Structure 1
Amino acid sequence: MRCKKILIIPDRAELSSYTKLADRLNLGFEYNDFFIPKLLDDTEQLDAVIAEYEQMSGMPGYCTLHGAFLDVTVFSDDSLIARASDYRVEQSLTIAKRLGVKGVVFHTNYIANFKTDSYRDSFVKKNAVYWSEKLLKYPDIQIYMENMFDDTPELLAGLAEELKGYKNFGVCFDYAHAHVFGNPDEIGLWVQTLAPYVKHLHINDNDFGQDLHLSVGDGKIDWKMFKNYYENYFPEATVLIEVNGMEKIRKSLDFLESL
């Protein structure tokens, strides 16, 4: 299987091995260091981690970053929570700017079992207003919204429709999350609904019950179906193999190559 651009998660403890693999296979990186609250609260350590990446030779030319997401609810009716969430989002985008990454991934953090029309309407409207401001403030950074606990694609698609006029907005379709938090028998609906907005994908494998982040091919997901969807619905989307460790990365790359 061929993708426009495949990204992997680097491990700073073995960074030279990851840069060599990336160079050999023309891979990009998606930084996963900068959503950890403990690091975000330690300015000195945060600067040191950023500097470690900046000073490393042979870094890929195409990188993205996973933004803060733990308890981040920018659409909250509680002003204190909304302000704290905005603080974390701003940290993520500032770090992204320092590192020169192409895009930042944020979660919807929609509570799927909060089934009231007012909550659902508020989710779309408040997110649309909030992210419109960020898209204008950071025009050189792609901002991707990723499905997390979403049980259906409709609210993310509704938000994406509101923001489709911004060139630096896109959906990060987490194909694995859709199989765990959604109905695995309705993946076609997810694909068709989100396809017009998808610019980035996260892939790994699972058992449809837990978000296990297994190597691609080690779980229940039908990857031949994924290949068909990718080629027919979003062939220009970049793809993160969202697993940790060189062994899982290599195994996933080999599996995708065999499709």
Structure 2
Amino acid sequence: MRLGFSTATTGLDYPQAFELAARLGLFLEIPYDLHEMDPRLPPARQLLEMGRAAGVEFTVHLPFVDLNLASLIPDVGKLSLERVRRSLEFAQTLGAYCGVLHTGKVAVRQLLALEMARRHLDTALQALTPLPIPVALENLALSPSDLLQGTDELADVLEAHPEYGFCLDVGHALVEGKEGQTEAYHQRFNGRLIHWHLHDNLGDRDSHLPVGLGRVNWSWVKEKLRDFKGTIALEVTGGLEGVEQSVHLLRSG
């Protein structure tokens, strides 16, 4: 099991995160947004050297804060595309296993707006190819503003863009469709699945609880992870203890 954790949700700084990752044999998922926001954070080459010293590798969550590849406003879409390109260069420098990408939002679910947003998304995804690293599109559908709702709409995009893989976020799926939605995404896209996001919630909101503190069916998840060859990133709160608790549950028999 190639397991890691996101530094975005834990609240750990990089020295703490590298120490924990090295001790538990984990990789780090780097939130590119934070590096855009805070120039004091180490650049990619420095992070790479820190990782080599600690024996820690990486995945990258590509930008999503104020980012919308499907924006109906052309200037917003152009800036979003440029930000993703920069983040892919960052991830390539790190030698990241993969990058995770959000697919965009639409302000109103009106037919013309939806058609235009989907067209803009298709154009952006095509413009990013050839991809310098594997990129996984993540299931969202946490609110009506998320462009892609459910498995059918995500399937349309993945079928149109075979260069991209899929990231199954179990917490998002639970909020979207309650019990059974994670299984539905897995059954539909298992052949494209290259990355998982693991965290828990009570089905009411995307609370990113440590594994085992909510309603995600972890017995089912662990069964599916047993033979999975890709990467798995914890996106849990609770700091060091939240990561340790989650790792223990996932690695236990």
Q: Which residue of 1 aligns with 2:98?
A: 103
TM-superposed deviation, 1:173: 1.2
The alpha-carbon distance between structure 1 residues 58 and 257, as it changes in their structure 2 partners (threshold 3 A), is same
Q: Which residue of 2 aligns with 1:55?
A: 49
Establish whether residue 17 from structure 1 lines up as the match of residue 16 from structure 2.
Answer: no
Q: Which residue of 2 aligns with 1:155?
A: 153
The alpha-carbon distance between structure 1 residues 122 and 236, as it changes in their structure 2 partners (threshold 3 A), is farther
Further displaced range: 208-217 or 102-111:
102-111
Q: Is the 8 A contact 1:151 1:183 kept in 2?
A: no
Aligned length: 239
Of 134, 145, 153, which aligns to 2:137? 145
TM-score (norm 2): 0.83
Q: Which residue of 2 aligns with 1:40?
A: 36
Give the aligned CA root-mean-square deviation in angstroms. 2.5
TM-superposed deviation, 1:52: 4.1
TM-superposed deviation, 1:51: 4.9
Q: Is the 8 A contact 2:59 2:99 kept in 1?
A: yes
The alpha-carbon distance between structure 1 residues 16 and 81, as it changes in their structure 2 partners (threshold 3 A), is closer
TM-superposed deviation, 1:41: 5.4
Task: Give the letter aligned to residue 97 of structure 1.
Answer: Q
Q: Deviations over 1:18-63 (max 9, x none)?
A: 24225xx3x222112x213xx4156x535x3435423321242x41
The alpha-carbon distance between structure 1 residues 173 and 15, as it changes in their structure 2 partners (threshold 3 A), is closer
Question: How far apart, CA to CA, are the structure 2 residues paired with 1:16 and 1:227?
Answer: 25
TM-superposed deviation, 1:242: 1.3
The alpha-carbon distance between structure 1 residues 207 and 41, as it changes in their structure 2 partners (threshold 3 A), is closer
Question: How far apart, CA to CA, are the structure 1 residues paired with 2:224 and 2:18?
Answer: 34
Q: Which residue of 2 aligns with 1:194?
A: 189
Question: How far apart, CA to CA, are the structure 1 residues paired with 2:102 and 2:220?
Answer: 25
The alpha-carbon distance between structure 1 residues 117 and 228, as it changes in their structure 2 partners (threshold 3 A), is farther
TM-score (norm 1): 0.81
